[in-house]
Structure 1
Amino acid sequence: MDLPPEESAIATAVLFDVDGTLVDSNYLHVHAWRRAFHELERPVDSWRVHRAIGKGSGKLLKTLLGDDDAERVGDQAKELHSRYYLETAELLRPFAQAPELIRALAAKGVRVVLATSAAPDELDALRRVLGVDDVVQDIVAGHDVEATKPDPEPVQVALEKAGTAPEDTIFVGDAVWDVRAATKAGVRTIGVLSGGVSAAELTEAGAVATYDDVAALLADLEKSPLAKLFS
């Protein structure tokens, strides 16, 4: 007996990174980390901080401070970063057409899951500026995983929440770490340049396509790799 269309249809999903992909926040993070490192008398060049954005905070600290210093002052650095970042929360804004892209996908029956390493208070600020909780199926945050990007666990947990197979899912992110994490989980990635990483780097990491930002992706939606999820 044939199943009804709604039961036989293959579920598809888009997993979105948030910082630098949907919300213009990467450079606020850079500034907050710089202030934290300065206060702890462990200065780090801004460009080095930027290159590490997108990793979980633990991996970021080890990358920038080394294992020993990350162990000594890591908790203080995280606390200071969060404080300084939240002080600038009024500057957070969604990238142009970010909410519209999410709503367009949801309207086509594609499941949307947000995957971020943000702490709970930071996540609250991001959710407020995006304003798409009513159409997002679920959210994976830092407290939901033990390992952070570029480890595949955040993507694997997002897949579980989406209830979709890797081949029926696409990740959209702005960092090399997003692409590497998704690739390890068997998920194709679309890269956006809004986080400050080049198309060449994202492509080399394994992105199947790159766009300037999510507005450009929405404008090309019907011709983009996302179209295979709802065609």
Structure 2
Amino acid sequence: MLKAIIFDFDGTIADTLPICFYAFQAVFKDFDNKDCTTDEIKAMFGPSETGIIIENLQNKNHYQAIEHFYKKYDEKHSENNYINEEIKELLQFLKKEEYKLGIVTGKARRSLNISLKYLNMENMFDVIITGDDVNMPKPHPEGIYKALEQLGISASEAIFLGDSDADIHAGIQADVITIGVQWLPNYQTSEFTFEPNLTFYSVSKFKEALVKEEILL
């Protein structure tokens, strides 16, 4: 029986990938005088923002660079409205149906909290596992294991949704039903190397499949 729905965040719940790219590009330009493409930034994904900066920035002023990242990340949110009404309605529907909701993301808690505040989703989730909470980022399944443990459910009672190969690989290794999503304007993986159990290109189709009980555990 399906009890919990666990989501990745960037590119899955919110169209925040452009904000991440903007903030990282600002850091590498302002501290290393290096122009990074979005693909170059994307290739660094895995660790939290702090880890990415420490591992990839040549400039040794890591603390200042990390603070600069969060300043730019917050600043870009305040310039735009990143609320997707379909996803907001989906989450409200899932709460009404009494599913437990979770997030497993490589983001640091600080950046996730910025996004959740702007999206008015601060109290929406029953469990949140960030890049700060694990030793091994996705594709390692540690984050999903922690979410399941905190929810008090087994892998057979949960599904995991994500937009990247790392998400799908982590879900497969955690032995949960794994769902690839490409329903926002920006997502990480155009073709999954690791095959998800299902792929959805619209929020409405995912909701319809849930209602019709087409996602079988």
159-168 vs 112-121, greater mean Cα deviation: 112-121
User: Structure 1 length normalisation: TM-score?
Assistant: 0.77
Tell me which moved more, 87-96 or 156-165: 87-96
Distance (whole Å) between structure 2 residues aligned to residue 107 and residue 140 of structure 1: 22
Q: 1:126-183 deviations in whole A, cap 9, x for unaligned? A: 2224434555222222332222222221111111122111122110111222112222
Q: Which has the higher helix share?
A: 1
Tell me: CA distance 1:216–1:31, structure 2 relative to 1, closer, same or farther (3 Å).
Answer: farther
1:51-88 C-alpha deviation (Å, 9 max, x unpaired): 4446533664588x3xxx56946544433222211111
Alpha-carbon RMSD across the aligned residues, in angstroms, is 2.8
Kept after mapping to 1: 8 A contact 2:165/2:189: no
Is 2:12 the counterpart of 1:21? yes
- TM-score, reference length from structure 2: 0.82
Give the equivalent residue in structure 2 for 1:114.
103
- Superposed, 1:76-91 pairs within 5 Å as 76-90=64-78, 91=80
Task: Provide structure 2 residue ranges, at least 5 long, that are not aligned to the other structure.
Answer: none
Q: Is the 8 A contact 2:102 2:128 kept in 1?
A: yes
Go from structure 1 to structure 2 and tell me whether the alpha carbon gap of 1:222 and 1:190 turns closer, same or farther (over 3 Å shift). Answer: same
Distance 1:76 1:178 in 2: 30
Q: Which amino acid aligns with 1:81?
A: F
| Aligned residue type for 1:228 | L
Distance in structure 2 (CA, Å) of the matches to 1:74 and 1:191 = 34
State which drifts further: 211-220 or 82-91: 211-220
CA contact (8 A) 1:56 1:149 kept: no
Aligned residues: percent identity? 24
- Give the number of the structure whose alpha-carbon radius of gyration is greater: 1
**1:137-156 superposed matches below 5 A:** 137-156=126-145
SS at match of 2:216: helix
For residue 103 of structure 2, give the secondary structure of its aligned residue in structure 1: strand
Which residue of structure 2 aligns with residue 210 of structure 1? 199
Distance 2:208 2:58 in 1: 42
Q: Which is further off, 173-182 or 91-100?
A: 91-100
Q: What does residue 150 of structure 2 align with? A: 161
Assess, with a 3 A threshold, how the Cα gap between structure 1 residues 55 and 177 changes in structure 2: closer, same or farther: farther
